Structure 1
């Protein structure tokens, strides 16, 4: 059986941390929009306190999706970078000598 994706479990926890306080507040016959605001505040606070690990797993998954692991760099990349740095250093030195 496949493991549940981190984003799915985190989303379910977040919905539950909003829905349970909302249901309790509505059962206490508090006005719906006040109950929704208070439930949202409660949900944010509880998720900040108790969902650190799932939130970090989701963030890591998003980061890895946006920045896939690069393959080995091109063999000439290091020498090209060194040449560019050397040329920039030479240009800066000539500019300083000209002042």
Structure 2
């Protein structure tokens, strides 16, 4: 996994929430109902991320899949080593 893709996606998701939340906090009525403003900002952020952040999410998930596939390959090689050691000790 590339750490850059994880950082970029995380920062963009945070901005997708914080910018609408900051704009809503400029309105006096929403200052009183900050929880409602947070819910609206979360919905707006979710919508924006679904529309505009597909590419960074794709990069992040591809990196995670590659990292997981690498772990599976190394786990298979560990099993092969263990099998070879067991066979060697059985032959003695």
**Equivalent residues in 2 for 1:47-86 (5 A)?**
47-68=49-70, 70=73
Equivalent residue, structure 1, for 2:18:
19
Which structure has greater helix proportion?
Answer: 2
Residue ranges of structure 1 left out of the alignment (5+ in a row) = 75-99
Higher relative contact order (CA 8 A, sep 6+): 2
Write the distance in 2 (CA, Å) between the matches of 1:4 and 1:21.
Answer: 26
User: Which segment drifts farther, 8-17 or 60-69?
Assistant: 60-69
How far apart are 1:4 and its partner, in Å?
A: 6.6
How far apart are 1:58 and its partner, in Å?
A: 0.4
Give the structure-2-normalised TM-score.
0.69
| CA radius of gyration, larger in | 1
How far apart are 1:55 and its partner, in Å?
A: 0.4
Write the distance in 2 (CA, Å) between the matches of 1:16 and 1:4.
Answer: 18
Give the structure-1-normalised TM-score.
0.64
Question: Over aligned residue pairs, what C-alpha RMSD do you find?
Answer: 2.2
Equivalent residue, structure 2, for 1:41:
43
Which 4+ residue blocks in structure 1 deviate beyond 3 angstroms?
none
Equivalent residue, structure 2, for 1:82:
none
* Count of matched residue positions in the alignment of Structure 1 and Structure 2: 71
Residue ranges of structure 2 left out of the alignment (5+ in a row) = 78-92
